[in-house]
Amino acid sequence: MRENRLLSTKNIAVMGMLGALAAVLMLFEVPLPFIAPSFYGLDLSEVPILVGTFALGPVAGAVMEVVKILIKLVLKPTSTGFVGEFANLVFGCSMVLPAGLIYRFHKTKKSAMIAMAVGTVIMAAVGIVGNALVMIPFYANFMPLENILAAGAAINPAVGNVWTFAVFCVGPFNVIKGIIVSVITALVYKRVSVMIHSIGMEGQRNKRRVGA
């Protein structure tokens, strides 16, 4: 029972390690210039968090998202007045929480695929709304809105305002990100989950040795 609690020693260690790994991955971004302007960068920070969410549950996923942001701020201070970090936290949670909830109740390979697909769609939808209402207006303080929209229109002529920019640039960008994250997670989850559970087994053996 104790090992299954969210704040067990094992779970805290796992959440800390995966959150730290996610923070490091967050520093490395790759632009997708054929989908969105170059100031949107794709990172793989959701992979370790999604793995941890499947292994420990959706609440652990939210905790790891917070850990990721806090460690990232230590490694690289904010350049957006914390708005970018807050948006990353919200968008990340919008993927891992639904995925974690679905997988929690149906732990099968098929359910995992469905969970990640649902998480990707929700993240894309939240990303569209969040960018249209918060992110793009915020960045308009640093770059003229006309230039932001022009960068989007150069990729997709349908872009003409904030909402079409969010729909035709940000939406597809997050869908591609979700697909890439999901594929990598599917490839590595089984191996990593074995390592996560082995941490708990090793801890139990150590306790028995101490008790002996």
Residue with tokens 């969970």: 115
What is the CB neighbour count within 10 angstroms for residue 36?
Answer: 25
Contact between 172 and 189 (Cβ < 8 Å):
no
Tens digits of per-residue pLDDT, 149-199?
Answer: 999 999 999 999 999 999 999 999 999 999 999 999 999 988 887 877 776
Least confident of 49-53, 120-124, 202-206: 202-206
Tens digits of per-residue pLDDT, 88-122?
Answer: 999 999 999 999 999 998 889 999 999 999 999 99
In DSSP terms, 42 is beta-bridged to 30
d(CA 94, CA 101) in angstroms, rounded, equals 11
- Which pLDDT score is estimated for 210? 43
- Which pLDDT score is estimated for 61? 95
Tokens of 120: 């990707």
Contact between 35 and 156 (Cβ < 8 Å):
no
d(CA 111, CA 106) in angstroms, rounded, equals 6
d(CA 36, CA 20) in angstroms, rounded, equals 28
83-105 and 109-130 are packed helices; what angle lies between their axes, rounded to 10 degrees?
150
Least confident of 27-31, 165-169, 203-207: 203-207
Contact between 53 and 61 (Cβ < 8 Å):
yes
Please give the model's pTM, rounded to 2 decimal places. Answer: 0.86
- Which pLDDT score is estimated for 203? 52
What is the CB neighbour count within 10 angstroms for residue 105?
Answer: 8
